[in-house]
């Protein structure tokens, strides 16, 4: 019997939080390969906050996932059948395979993955899109200088955990903001940040930032937006930089969210706030990957991964990003 593909397609666009009701889980036969195509068996899928945005029918940096289409996701898989000379059976590949167990594509659409001595899933984490986001967002947009203070929200997450570690490698003070004592313990004790603010238990985020960043914030790397961004604005140092990486606190909102009322702090502090999209740096990913892989080998950078299992849990996994259920890069093992 032909291989069966277990896949999740978008049935209905969500308003607010996502549930399995918005998707269809189905089994369909895997089609026969044409010349030049490969059949990839999915091993790991990346679960990312951006996925929530891809479900909305709005203009963004990528088109939305269409109704009836397989939910978009980056992943790692193994070629199990090949009609492409340079993608042999048994090779590992990175591809935009989506939420499905089997992916048929032109060989050129899948990128060979030479994981070498590092675990393949690291290429979805510190050496993948989140790591590239941390690297270029911090170094190219935030431009931290030795001795300066870098504050990062979502500090126990995929991007934030790497931002703080790179800040330390650049000779900065790294202060995280994360939800709960366990996450803050990981951020300080395991990842080496200088301090971590538990925003879920601190009575005043503003006072906590003043306490942990006594010289002000030179770079604020913002992963969450909303009130956290508004508060951080008031604590910026002279000529500080705010890196707008994401705003996860607003992604499930059902009404338009207000901008930060404290924006005049940019004027007072001659500061600036700048957004970026990691894909703009794609040409420089190899350079960053090589440097970061060496940091990992040298024990200077930890790629923290949080692996959950089973394609049928993809939606629950996505929701973990919004409830704070993940510590480190959330990966689904299929
Ligand atoms: N600009 C780009 O090119 C780019 C690329 C990749 C990612 N991003 C953005 O980077 C951010 C982080 O992504 P990631 O993949 O590293 O996710 P992540 O940090 O691994 O996971 C999301 C985390 O956000 C926190 N969170 C959720 N709801 C929150 C709320 N209402 N207020 C405060 N914190 C909340 C949770 O941590 P706590 O338990 O600490 O609350 C959760 O664990 C996202 O905003 C994402 O969209 C941007």
| pLDDT per residue as tens, the chain (334 positions) | 678 999 999 999 999 999 999 999 999 999 999 999 999 999 999 999 999 999 999 999 899 999 999 999 999 999 999 999 999 999 999 999 999 999 999 999 999 998 889 999 999 999 999 999 999 999 999 999 999 999 999 999 999 999 999 999 999 999 999 999 999 999 999 999 999 999 999 999 999 999 999 999 999 999 999 999 999 999 999 999 999 999 999 999 999 999 999 999 999 999 999 999 999 999 999 999 999 999 999 999 999 999 999 999 999 999 999 999 999 999 999 9
Q: Do 52 and 290 form a contact (C-beta atoms < 8 A)?
A: no
Q: Whose CA is nearest to atom 31 of ligand 1?
A: 249
% of the chain residues with pLDDT over 70: 100
Tell me how far CA of residue 121 lies from CA of 15, 73, 118, 213, 253, in angstroms: 31, 14, 8, 34, 31
Ordered strands of the 272-275 beta sheet: 195-198, 173-178, 149-153, 217-222, 236-244, 272-275
Q: Measured over all CA atoms, what is the biggest interatomic distance in the chain, rounded to whole angstroms?
A: 69
Residue 175, Cβ density class (10 Å: 0-12 exposed, 13-18 middle, ≥19 buried): buried
Q: Do 178 and 208 form a contact (C-beta atoms < 8 A)?
A: no
Q: Do 92 and 38 form a contact (C-beta atoms < 8 A)?
A: no
**Pocket perturbation via mutation, ligand 1, pick of 136, 141, 154 by most ligand atoms within 8 A of CB:** 154
- Nearest-atom number in ligand 1 for the CA of 247 is 45
Q: Whose CA is nearest to atom 28 of ligand 1?
A: 322
3-state secondary structure of 137: helix
Residue 273's DSSP bridge partners are 242
Q: Do 151 and 217 form a contact (C-beta atoms < 8 A)?
A: yes
In short, whether 52's Cβ falls inside 6 Å of ligand 1 is no
Q: How far apart are CA 159 and CA 181, in angstroms?
A: 19
Q: Do 70 and 105 form a contact (C-beta atoms < 8 A)?
A: no
Å from CA of 158 to ligand 1 middle: 8
- Nearest-atom number in ligand 1 for the CA of 326 is 43
Q: Whose CA is nearest to atom 22 of ligand 1?
A: 321
Q: Could you tell me whether strands 75-82 and 37-46 are parallel, antiparallel, or unpaired per DSSP bridges? A: antiparallel
User: In this structure, what are the phi and psi dihedrals at residue 315, rounded to the nearest 5 degrees?
Assistant: -70, -40
Q: How far apart are CA 214 and CA 202, in angstroms?
A: 17
303's tokens = 């790629």
For 189, left (φ over 0), alpha (ψ -120 to 50), or beta? alpha
Å from CA of 326 to ligand 1 middle: 10
Q: How far apart are CA 152 and CA 164, in angstroms?
A: 7
239's tokens = 């000529």
pLDDT at 115: 82
Q: How far apart are CA 155 and CA 215, in angstroms?
A: 20
Residues 6 or more apart whose Cβ sits within 8 Å of residue 131:
125, 162, 288, 289, 292, 303
Q: What is the residue-averaged pLDDT of the chain?
A: 97
pTM here? 0.97
pLDDT at 95: 97
316's tokens = 């629950």
For 98, left (φ over 0), alpha (ψ -120 to 50), or beta? left
pLDDT at 1: 61
3-state secondary structure of 173: strand
Q: Whose CA is nearest to atom 4 of ligand 1?
A: 245
For 11, left (φ over 0), alpha (ψ -120 to 50), or beta? alpha
Q: How far apart are CA 265 and CA 237, in angstroms?
A: 10
């Amino acid at each position: 019997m032909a291989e069966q593909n277990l896949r999740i397609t978008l049935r209905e666009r969500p308003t607010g939080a996502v549930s399995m009701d918005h998707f269809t889980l189905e089994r369909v036969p895997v089609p026969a390969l044409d010349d030049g195509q490969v059949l990839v068996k999915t091993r790991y899928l990346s679960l990312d906050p951006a996925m929530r945005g891809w479900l909305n029918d709005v203009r963004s940096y990528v088109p939305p996932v269409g109704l009836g289409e397989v939910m978009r996701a980056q992943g790692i898989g193994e070629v199990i059948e090949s009609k492409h000379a340079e993608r042999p059976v048994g090779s590992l590949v990175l591809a935009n395979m989506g939420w499905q167990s089997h992916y048929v594509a032109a060989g050129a659409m899948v990128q060979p993955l030479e994981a070498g001595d590092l675990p393949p899933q690291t290429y979805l984490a510190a050496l993948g899109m989140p790591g590239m986001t941390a690297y270029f967002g911090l170094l190219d947009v935030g431009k931290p200088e030795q001795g300066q203070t870098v504050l990062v929200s979502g500090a126990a997450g995929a991007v934030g955990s790497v931002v703080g570690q790179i800040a330390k490698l650049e000779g900065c003070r790294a202060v995280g903001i994360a939800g709960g004592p366990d996450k803050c313990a990981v951020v300080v004790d395991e990842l080496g940040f200088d301090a971590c603010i538990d925003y879920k238990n601190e009575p005043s985020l503003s006072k906590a930032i003043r306490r942990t960043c006594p010289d002000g914030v030179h770079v604020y790397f913002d992963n969450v937006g909303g009130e956290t961004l508004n508060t951080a604005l008031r604590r910026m140092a002279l000529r500080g930089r705010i890196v707008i990486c994401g705003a996860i606190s607003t992604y499930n909102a059902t009404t338009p969210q207000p901008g930060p009322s404290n924006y005049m702090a940019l004027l007072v502090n001659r500061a600036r706030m700048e957004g970026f999209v990691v894909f703009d740096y794609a040409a420089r990913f190899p350079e960053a990957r090589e440097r970061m892989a060496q940091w990992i080998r040298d024990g200077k950078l930890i790629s923290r991964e949080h692996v959950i299992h089973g394609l049928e849990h993809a939606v629950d996994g996505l929701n973990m990003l919004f409830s704070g259920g993940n510590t480190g890069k959330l990966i689904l093992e299929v």
